[in-house]
Amino acid sequence: MFVLLFFYLFKMTKKNTENLKLENQLCFPLYQASRLMIKAYTPLLNKLKLTYPQYLVLMVLWETDEISIKEISSKIDLDTNTLTPLLKRMEKNDYVKRIRSKEDERIVNISLTEKGKKTKNFALKIPTEIFNKSGLTMKELQSLKSDLDVLISNLHHEIQHKK
């Protein structure tokens, strides 16, 4: 799917102004899809008094109960400067607790509270509700996710090598 779109977009010459039209950009539908996906999650997360980034943190913690802020930052691709205030709000709302590492006091680990663990039960239905809102088949969603994983990997690789 993306391969065809890239081929179409990049076969245009640099002198051709068609490649500057918003409708011919790959970035815009990705941006729009991201915003709409977050809007689809919002009513479900509002019931838990969570933002989408907080939900991402919980998903990481449901996989690994205690993990460092740096590791969470890496997994959800948020800077620690953005993540720290978010985690403080989650701690205030009793979803997580911050624990200083005994081996290295500079490292702060995050762990789920009982409320954070119990929230998982409600969250189990969220993926199905989002799937239903998508209007896509399971095969289409799996293909889209696979294409996005490749695109993200390629962009991460390209950006890391340009630093």
Tell me the pTM: 0.85
Give the pLDDT confidence score for residue 24 in this predicted structure: 87
> What tokens does 77 get?
């691709």
Give the pLDDT confidence score for residue 18 in this predicted structure: 80
Residue 127 has pLDDT above 60, yes or no: yes
Digit-coded pLDDT (tens) for 2-19? 554 555 555 555 557 788
Q: Distance (Å, rounded) from C-alpha 129 to C-alpha 40?
A: 9
Residue 163 has pLDDT above 70, yes or no: no
Q: Distance (Å, rounded) from C-alpha 62 to C-alpha 119?
A: 10
> Domains along the chain?
48-116 (1.10.10.10)
| Span 64-87, average pLDDT | 93
Q: Contact at 8 Å (CB) between 69 and 104?
A: no
| Span 69-74, average pLDDT | 95
Give the pLDDT confidence score for residue 104 in this predicted structure: 87
